Amino acid sequence: MASSKMHFLSLLFLLLLASSIEGKYMKYKDPKQPLNVRINDLMKRMTLAEKIGQMAQIERKVASSKVMKDYFIGSVLSGGGSVPRSKATPKDWVNMVNEFQKGSLSTRLGIPMIYGIDAVHGNNNVYKATIFPHNIGLGATRDPELVKKIGAATALEARATGIPYAFAPCIAVCRDPRWGRCYESYSEDHRIVQAMTEIIPGLQGELPANFSKGAPYVAGRDKVAACAKHFVGDGGTYLGINENNTIINHHGLLSIHMPAYYNSILKGVATVMVSYSSWNGDKMHANRALITGFLKNKLKFRGFVISDWQGIDRITNPPGENYTYSIQAGVNAGIDMVMVPYNYKEFINDLTSLIEKKIVPMSRINDAVRRILRVKFVMGLFENPLADLSFADHLGKKEHRELAREAVRKSLVLLKNGKYPNQPLLPLPKKVPKILVAGSHADNLGYQCGGWTIEWQGASGNITAGTTILDAIKSTMDPATEIVYSNSPSSSFIKKGNFSFAVVVVGEVPYAETQGDNLNLTIPSPGPSTVKTVCSQIKCVVVLISGRPLVIKPYLSSMDALVAAWLPGSEGKGVTDVLFGDYGFTGKLPRTWFKSVDQLPMNVGDKYYDPLFPFGFGLTTKPTEAR
């Protein structure tokens, strides 16, 4: 009897033990619990190593399921051009993201990681994604609702690849076109930039009524966490030099560069990225007064603050000279997640040591982790951590390409139309005997997309799916019209051609960040000679592909018409829609167009304002046929 009783008790004990191990109720795993209850419950369970791991974001090239598990890594990213393989499919992306995620889920607490990517004009790293116009072109549309739709489309195309976090939008106010990131800015006028923060509810979803101010919000699995960047003043650096010093007083910083952050926070932006630049000599990545004092405390931002790529390293000069100090300065300033991106072991070891020595207080770590977890809970990552292929069909789909095409035609700014007011060249006729299409950018998809497309710096050629301007012209013109293309035609070639008119497409070659800094802003060769040769002999419209205003005054008189097309992206038909009169020109300059670089910086409202074309300028035309 005693033996059977002992056996029964042993069995009961084992059952209870198994139940407590496998089925133990944890509040943080219960979606019915209030958000703060879930955060507090999980925080109480976390070790220091688990907390520090959450603060690290590493590049996919050094990530693996084992690394995620062993170091409790909180986030992984794709840097510009960092992909699973060349021409990777949605399945390739989803499988890669899930492999990392499975490592995170296999940890003691199963905290999911968040994968981020620079989806700055569509999901632009991904082959066959829809490439929308860069922000400068969207600023020319003056259409926040259109930009919101682009945000929603970008979110779907990111989710198509299993990615729930986009490092967008850039809400810089570019005050000098010599800056290599100027095309990432919607405008020199903060009011336009503020209006274009409508992309955030496009990416993340519309805030519910009476939503708590400053709290992050992501509506569901078809949306992504957004990132307002780069905090703050990145567009105001001296001479437009990337990562340089923004010299401006406190009032100027708050009135020009800060307003779009107010809007972003009111719209529930999940994250804010810190700028490489300095403000009056102080590195933003170490600026506690602005990151913690202003952004977190005054503006009540409750999402997480993330560094830029190796951003804390650049607190010192040269970068990385004193990495331990950089971690101390950056984390104590209020950075919650650090884009490491490679040396995660050094980051974890050094931050652990700084905490043990009480140089970085535990309260700062808890604040950082609490913010990161808040975003992850709000996104639904704990309930749906693994990606699937349910959104795969959204990548590059027809509806998104039509939206991009609409954005292109609304972004085009007509600067000149006819050598005489009563003799406009545009819209062009679709049926003539023979036309010339010339220029280095007419048949180059990579050139018309610009930087941050497939590769970080962009590239030349047919780098993804899309329609070049030449292809768009061919599909628009009457089949009886002969279309001749020449990259850089000679004078004799043109004389023999007997062309009705020419479309000349020239501009900048792709660039990103510092590689785009440019103190002379001239049209790259052979663009100027092509314009001169063609336009001196036949009627011509010049379509300028560029991330900013360029020097055009010397050539303007020879052109019959001039169109600023910015960096239109993958849908070249948006250009021909307007050139040939299916739609009218409506775009307005988002930037002042200077006469000479000696005038720079020059912005609307300046005391000495003498532009070639003023901010807001843009000629209009009417469609030639009803649609």
Q: Is residue 34 part of a domain?
A: no
| 382 and 525 both lie in a single domain | no
Q: Residue 5: its pLDDT value, please?
A: 52
Please give the Cα distance from 482 to 136 (Å, whole number): 34
Residues in the chain: 627
| 443 and 321 both lie in a single domain | no
Q: Is residue 509 part of a domain?
A: yes
Cis peptide before 427 (omega within 30 of 0): yes
The closest of 468, 495, 452, 504 to 118, measured between CA atoms, is 452
Contact 424, 475 (CB under 8 A): no
| Catalytic residue chosen out of the listed positions 50, 308, 313, 508 | 308
Helices (H) and strands (E) in the chain, counts: 22, 17
**DSSP H or E stretch at residue 507:** strand 502-507
The closest of 140, 185, 135, 186 to 585, measured between CA atoms, is 140
| 481 and 521 both lie in a single domain | yes
Q: Which of 359, 394, 429 is the last residue of a domain?
A: 394
| 314 and 194 both lie in a single domain | yes
Place of tokens 């497409």: 505
| 203 and 255 both lie in a single domain | yes
Please give the Cα distance from 266 to 245 (Å, whole number): 28
| 378 and 419 both lie in a single domain | no
Question: What tokens appear for 184 in the block?
Answer: 């990432």
The domain in which residue 273 lies consists of: 41-79+88-394
Packing angle, helices 362-379 and 35-45, rounded to 10: 130
| 493 and 595 both lie in a single domain | yes
Please give the Cα distance from 301 to 547 (Å, whole number): 32
Is 513 part of the annotated catalytic residue set? Answer: yes
| 374 and 420 both lie in a single domain | no
Q: What single-letter amino acid sits at 20?
A: S
Q: Residue 421: its pLDDT value, please?
A: 82
CATH of the domain at 464: 3.40.50.1700
Contact 462, 446 (CB under 8 A): yes
| 373 and 429 both lie in a single domain | no
Q: Is residue 616 part of a domain?
A: no
Q: Residue 349: its pLDDT value, please?
A: 98
Please give the Cα distance from 307 to 55 (Å, whole number): 10
Please give the Cα distance from 189 to 600 (Å, whole number): 16
Per-residue DSSP letter, 401? H
CATH of the domain at 312: 3.20.20.300
Q: Is residue 185 part of a domain?
A: yes
Burial group, residue 383, by CB count within 10 angstroms (0-12, 13-18, 19+) = exposed
CB atoms within 10 A of CB 469: 28
Secondary structure of residue 608 in the 3-state scheme = coil
Contact 558, 589 (CB under 8 A): no
| 387 and 444 both lie in a single domain | no
Q: Is residue 134 part of a domain?
A: yes
Contact 372, 52 (CB under 8 A): no
Contact 380, 218 (CB under 8 A): yes
Cis peptide before 601 (omega within 30 of 0): yes
| Catalytic residue chosen out of the listed positions 513, 517, 560, 577 | 513
Q: Is residue 256 part of a domain?
A: yes
Number of domains in the chain: 2
Show the low-confidence residues of the chain (pLDDT under 50).
Answer: 1-2, 6, 8-9, 11-22, 626-627
Q: What is the dihedral of CA 534, 535, 537, 540, to 10 degrees?
A: 100
Please give the Cα distance from 194 to 25 (Å, whole number): 45
C-alpha pair distances (Å), 231 with each of 424, 435, 586: 45, 48, 32
Q: Is residue 611 part of a domain?
A: no
Residue 434 backbone dihedrals phi, psi, to 5 degrees: -160, 135
Please give the Cα distance from 180 to 177 (Å, whole number): 8
Please give the Cα distance from 371 to 47 (Å, whole number): 17
| 345 and 452 both lie in a single domain | no
Q: Is residue 590 part of a domain?
A: yes
Contact 282, 253 (CB under 8 A): no
| 384 and 507 both lie in a single domain | no
**56-59 and 338-339 beta bridge pairing:** parallel
Q: Residue 365: its pLDDT value, please?
A: 98
Instruction: Give all strands of the β-sheet with 245-246 in edge-to-edge order.
Output: 245-246, 278-279, 282-283
C-alpha pair distances (Å), 417 with each of 307, 327, 541, 554, 584: 46, 55, 8, 17, 13
Q: Where are the alpha helices (DSSP H) in 490-603?
A: 491-497, 527-535, 553-556, 573-579
In 164-261, beta strands by DSSP E: 165-166, 227-231, 245-246
